[in-house]
Amino acid sequence: MAVIEVKRRALSLVERTYLPNLLAGLKTTLKHLVGPSETMEYPEQRPAISPGYRGVPTLVKDPHGREKCVSCQLCEFVCPPKAIRITPGSVAAGAGVDNVEKAPQAFDIDMLRCIYCGLCEEVCPEEAIFLQNQYSMSGYTRAEMVNHKDRLYELGGTLPDRHFKWEVKKAAEEAAGGHH
């Protein structure tokens, strides 16, 4: 590459007094002074959350209102900071959840340990755990910062099932005349 010689122009007398640049600077700051504020005033104004945001992990129910988690404990095993603790339990007969055998008896996520990595969401075979939009977790005690099962479902709500794992399977079974 050729060497480009940059001609350094000697500053004129006016430029050397430093005043034109000072005035230019004052003009710029005045523009900002009268211009609008760029700050988002947080508790009143909230930022728009883009899809794919990794907020607080939550448990979700399927469109029929059924518990999706089958307490396979994959998330517990994959969780790098060991924030998840699951106590597996069996499904009560006649609870309307006859497609699965197990459900969590207790499901705790310690938000003081959680690093919001999203591995639990990624590993879940039932698409039962999602990192959703909530970005602010606070509490006065350590105990308050542990999300129990009921709180996790409260935060998670019901998400439209993206893949309809069970529905699709059931429909395929019916179309095949009862064969798998």
Partner 1 sequence: MSDFFFGLPTFVQALAKGLAVVLVVFPVAAACSMAERKVCAWIQSRPGPNRALPPFLAWVPGIGIPQRLGLFQLAADGAKFLFKEEPLPDHVHKFYYTLAPVVAMVPAFTTVTVVPFGAYIASGGAVVPLILANVDVGILAVFAVASLGIYSLILAGWASNSKYPFLGGVRASAQLISYELSMTLSVLPVFLWVNAPGSAGTLSLARVVEFQSGSLHSGWGGAWFLLTMPVSAFIFAVALFAETNRQPFDMPESESDLVGGFHTEYGAFKWSLFFVAEYANMIVGSAVFVLLFLGGWNILPWVPLASMLRGLNHATGWALWLHPLVAGLVSMAIFAGKVLSLIFVFMWVRWTVPRFRYDQVMRLGWQKLLPLSIANLIAYTVGIYFLQG
Binding residues for partner 1, per CB under 8 A? 22, 25-26, 28-30, 32-39, 41
Is residue 135 a contact partner of residue 72, using CB atoms and an 8 Å limit?
no
Shortest gap between Cβ of 136 and partner 1 (angstroms)? 18
Shortest gap between Cβ of 17 and partner 1 (angstroms)? 9
Q: Give the nearer residue to partner 1 in terms of CB position, either 39 or 50.
A: 39
Shortest gap between Cβ of 10 and partner 1 (angstroms)? 18
Shortest gap between Cβ of 49 and partner 1 (angstroms)? 23
Shortest gap between Cβ of 138 and partner 1 (angstroms)? 18
Q: Give the nearer residue to partner 1 in terms of CB position, either 43 or 51.
A: 43
Shortest gap between Cβ of 26 and partner 1 (angstroms)? 5
Measured between alpha carbons, how far is 43 from 28 in angstroms, rounded to an integer? 30
Q: Give the nearer residue to partner 1 in terms of CB position, either 36 or 52.
A: 36
Measured between alpha carbons, how far is 106 from 121 in angstroms, rounded to an integer? 18
Phi-psi region of 65 (alpha: psi -120 to 50; beta: other; left: phi over 0): left
Measured between alpha carbons, how far is 119 from 23 in angstroms, rounded to an integer? 55
165 Cβ contact partners less than 8 Å away, ≥ 6 residues apart: 126, 127
Is residue 102 a contact partner of residue 88, using CB atoms and an 8 Å limit?
yes
Q: Give the nearer residue to partner 1 in terms of CB position, either 3 or 33.
A: 33
Q: Give the nearer residue to partner 1 in terms of CB position, either 38 or 174.
A: 38
Dihedral in degrees, nearest 10, Cα atoms 116, 122, 123, 125:
130
Distances, alpha carbon 18 to alpha carbons 12, 92, 162, in Å: 10, 82, 64
Q: Give the nearer residue to partner 1 in terms of CB position, either 26 or 112.
A: 26
